[in-house]
Amino acid sequence: MPDDWKWLLETARAEVAETIRSLPADLQAHADHVPVIFERWPDDALVADGFDPDLLGLFAGDALDVGDTEAGPLPHQILLFLENLWDFAEQDEEIYREEVRVTYIHEFGHYLGLEEHELEARGLL
């Protein structure tokens, strides 16, 4: 399997798109409002802020239940760190695809205000 950036990016985009299509209809509408940003790895600023350089994904912004008047300065977005996901998957395509899916759902859950056990109870993880 090629471990170049183009392949990692195309594969991750396809996996996220498929994951969104597989969501229940009520959640698909919410997913359309949360852009997904694909990065190689966390940048120096994130690491300086205390994030692990091996971070797989990150939700930035406010959760869905935060009202517009309470909203912080960051737009909500999901960041997926593809080189880290590829390394975590030990360069195995099947594991990589699954980790992209799981990481996306986990970060999307933060946007929805759902805990891990709530995602599992809904059959999303």
Q: Which residue has the tokens 């999901």?
A: 78
What is the model's pLDDT at position 78?
97
Ordered by where they begin, the domains of the chain are 5-119 (3.30.2010.20)
What is the model's pLDDT at position 72?
56
What is the model's pLDDT at position 1?
47
| Strand order across the beta sheet in which 77-81 lies | 36-39, 77-81, 57-60
Other CB atoms within 10 Å distance of the CB of residue 22: 12
CA angle 76, 77, 83 (to 5 degrees): 155
In angstroms, rounded to a whole number, what is the distance separating the alpha carbons of residues 108 and 119?
Answer: 10
Structural tokens at position 54: 């091996």
114 exposure class (CB count in 10 Å sphere: 0-12, 13-18, 19+): buried
Confirm if 109 and 124 have CB atoms less than 8 A apart: yes
Confirm if 96 and 70 have CB atoms less than 8 A apart: no
What is the model's pLDDT at position 125?
85
The tens-digit pLDDT sequence of the chain (125 residues) is 455 999 999 999 999 999 999 999 989 999 988 999 999 999 999 999 999 999 999 999 878 775 555 555 567 899 999 999 999 999 999 999 999 999 999 999 999 988 889 889 988 88
CA angle 75, 7, 47 (to 5 degrees): 45
Q: Which residue has the tokens 């008047």?
A: 69
Q: Which residues contact 117 (CB under 8 A, 6 or more apart)?
A: none
